Structure formats: structure tokens, C-alpha cells
Amino acid sequence: MIDEKWLSDNDPVCSNRRGFLRGVAAVTAGGALGVSIPLQGADIVAGASAQEAATPLPEYVKWKNPDSMIVHSDQTLETRRAYTGSVITPEEQLYVRNNIKAPDDSFIADRDGWKLEITGVKSPTVLSVAELKTMGLTTVAMVLQCSGNGRAYFQEKLKGTDKAIKGTSWALGAAGCVAWTGVPLKTVIEAVGGASPGAKFITGTGGEKIPAGLNPKDIIVERSVPISNLDTVLLAWELNGKPISLAHGGPLRMIVPGYAGVNNVKYVAKLSLTDTETDAKIQKTRYRVHDMGTEGSADVPSVWAMDVKSWVTSPLSDGKAGRVTVAGVAFGGMNAVQEVEISTDGGKNWHKADFVGPDLGRFAWRQFALSTELEPGSYTLVSRATDATGKTQPEEPELNAGGYSHNGWLAPGVKISLA
């Protein structure tokens, strides 16, 4: 009766609550099998077993570079670690995570004709993308990262215990740094008379069709973020200089710079300034940070602003002793990243790395590098970033039931040998 492919097959809370859907448990278990040792060399990243590597790309993302992707499922594709080091992530290497099965091509058949309903403002209205394009233009470079990026490290930690975290075993590659082009939401809101009195949240609603027989509130992708983001939110039609692909939310996506992926609503069809957060399940109980053994609720924090984070992207495999350049990427969520340290001995000794390449603004990641002489031997390469507010990545983050927001520096270490 219900096509379960409409639903994400490996969201942790989703799979807890929707255990009645055929296949969910099996797929979740399959994902977990892909986790390997967090301290790994080469690009055998957690979640990237040989079996997964061989999974072909789903049809709607056939244009991705297959070498760069780990296919966890049709709706969850991770970027291989070796492909996460560039200042801008090419779209064909960008991770994919859809809460609902991606819509068909009819969504992008007439991009300029796509309609956005705007409410919670003085003069509620409906604007086409063509109209939005006349109103203003800007570009924001920012890290797009799935809330569950790093979950594999939490799962690894729980191996052999009686606890487990369900959900896609993302290691590091459910993240990329991309440039979105569109109109500032603030400009649009001003053009429609400003916010209604009392508005506290920006609520975006995805335009995906909800299958009959399901409670829309359980399925709909509708997210609210604090209205304090009004100065930075974007209604975007381009990703890295091209019309946004269907897989990444084209023709129109709500972009909330500095916020975790789920808040950046794809196929955005409705934008409301609201007094309260939406009561859609994806906001009310899912994507909440709460203790193991408890349920998500409005009383615990939503997965909103991202934490400071970094990882090494090169080298990832054994090589020659001598001069070695250790490089990676670092970001601070809402804040610029201020400093990155690198250790080659798993965190005993630290050395300040240089930022290299362009600074694309506080929401983007920065590349860092440190060139050093290394004797033959074994090394564990780790990086540790500090943001502009002084927050530093923890060695290990606290466990949470959904396995969200992992930003520890120890687990993503890279073990290599130099001869």
C-alpha cells in the first residue's frame, strides 16, 4: 500500500518510529555493517566497505563521479574522504541525503515557473523563481553537512556494548563546501511588507508530494530556524554556478548558512515567518540531540547551528618517508575557523597548520596544510580546529541517541606507515 521508498530508509528516529515499514530494519543493519575501524589509513573510511563501494549510483544521481561516492542507499551517498579536500566541492562529488525520495524531473521542467508561497508577512503572496531573480542576487559559500555526519564513529564506539545507534554510518563525507546563488530572504521579506508581528521562526516547506494514506505531518520536510538568521538565509537557484540539480533541491532551496543540512529545505514551496516551530515530525521529535534511551522532543535541542570541525584529507595512504604535506579542511559552523593544529602522533604533540587558499567567508571551510619531514615509521594524523569564538573540537563528543553532530578529533585519525 505504501511505497516505503518515499521515506528515508535509514534515518535513526525515522526507522525507530516507522519500524512497520518493510525493509527499514534490514537496510539499517546493512549500513552498520559497513563501519570499519575509525582510525584508518588509505581511504578505507568508516562506512566504505568494498561491498558498498561497488554499489552503482542511483539513476537520479548517475551524473555523479562514481569514484568519489560511497552509496549507502538510494537516498544516502557519501563523498569519499579523499574527495573532500577542495575549497569548493564539485557537485558531482557532493554527498546526497534525501529525507523523502527525490521528486521526478517535472520539478525542474520549468525552473523559472516554480512557485513559492510566502506567508507570515504583511502582504502574503506567491512569487515565481523568475520574479525572485528580479529582486536581488547574492552568493554564499558554506559548508553543507548532514546532521549525522560522523555517526559511524559513535557506532564504532558502541560496538560490543548493549547499546547501538541506528542510521546511516556516515564517516566524514556527508559534508561539502559549496556556493549557493540566489536572493537574500531579507530582500524578499522587505518587498512583501516585512514580517508579521511576533514572528520568531523562518519556516520552510519542501514541495514533495506526500503519498496518500500517510499522515503529512509524519512525512513532510518542513523545518523552522530562529528568525535571527534572516540576515543570512538565501532562496537559492544555483549551486556552484549551475542551476541546482534535482538531487540537491532544485529549482529552489532554502539555504541557512551555518546550519546542518536538514535545515536547508529542498524544493522549497512555502516560506513562512511563524510564531512557533513547525509541528512536523522532522522538527518536533526528529533531528533532536538527546541522551541514549530517551526520545526526541521539543524540550531538547534541535540540530541547528553546526559545531567547529576539521579533518585530514591528505595523505590517506602509506608512502615514502621524507617531506610530507598534511592537509585538510576546517570550519566553524556559524563562525569563521581561527586556528588548526595537526598532530602526527594521534594527539600527543600538536603543530599549528597554515591556512591555504581563498577564504570564502565565515560559513565556508578553509583548507589547511602543514609540510613536515617524517622519518620512516607509523603515524596517526589528526587535526583539531578552533573557531573565532574560541571553541575547540573535543577529543570525543558526547554520545547522543541520534548520533548527530560528531565533531571529535580523535576518531577520524588517519593511520599511515612511511617507508
Q: Smallest gap, in angstroms, from Cβ of residue 395 to its own copies?
A: 26
**Closer by beta carbon to its own copies, 93 or else 98:** 93
**Closer by beta carbon to its own copies, 63 or else 216:** 63
**Closer by beta carbon to its own copies, 88 or else 308:** 88
Residues 260, 153: Cα–Cα separation, whole Å: 18
Bridge-based pairing state of the strands 268-274 and 115-119: parallel
**Closer by beta carbon to its own copies, 282 or else 327:** 327
- DSSP string for residues in 28-39: HHHHHHT---SS
Residues paired with residue 339 on neighbouring β-strands, in sequence order: 386
Q: Which of residues 340-379 bind its own copies (CB under 8 A)?
A: 356-361, 364, 367, 369, 371
Tell me how many helices (H) and strands (E) the chain has: 8, 21
Q: Smallest gap, in angstroms, from Cβ of residue 20 to its own copies?
A: 42
Binding mask 92-131 for its own copies (x = CB under 8 A): -x--------------------------------------
Q: Measuring CA to CA, which residue among 327, 347, 342 is closest to residue 386?
A: 342
Q: Smallest gap, in angstroms, from Cβ of residue 256 to its own copies?
A: 17
Residue 320 as a binder of its own copies (CB under 8 A): the answer is yes
189, 121 contact by CB (below 8 A): yes
Q: Which stretch binds its own copies (CB under 8 A): 20-28, 80-88, 113-121, 287-295?
A: 80-88
Q: Which stretch binds its own copies (CB under 8 A): 119-127, 138-146, 166-174, 257-265?
A: 138-146
Quick check: bond before 315 cis, omega within 30? yes
Length of the chain: 419
- DSSP string for residues in 220-268: --EEEEEGGGGGT-EEEEEETTEEPPGGGTTT-EEE-TTB-GGGS-TTE
Q: Which residues of 36-51 are buried (b: 16+ CB within 10 A; e: fewer)?
A: bebbbbebbbbbbbee
Residue 241 as a binder of its own copies (CB under 8 A): the answer is yes
Q: Smallest gap, in angstroms, from Cβ of residue 50 to its own copies?
A: 23
Residue 133 as a binder of its own copies (CB under 8 A): the answer is yes
Contact residues toward its own copies (CB under 8 A) are 85-90, 93, 133-141, 179, 181, 187, 191, 238, 240-242, 314, 319-320, 322-325, 327, 356-361, 364, 367, 369, 371
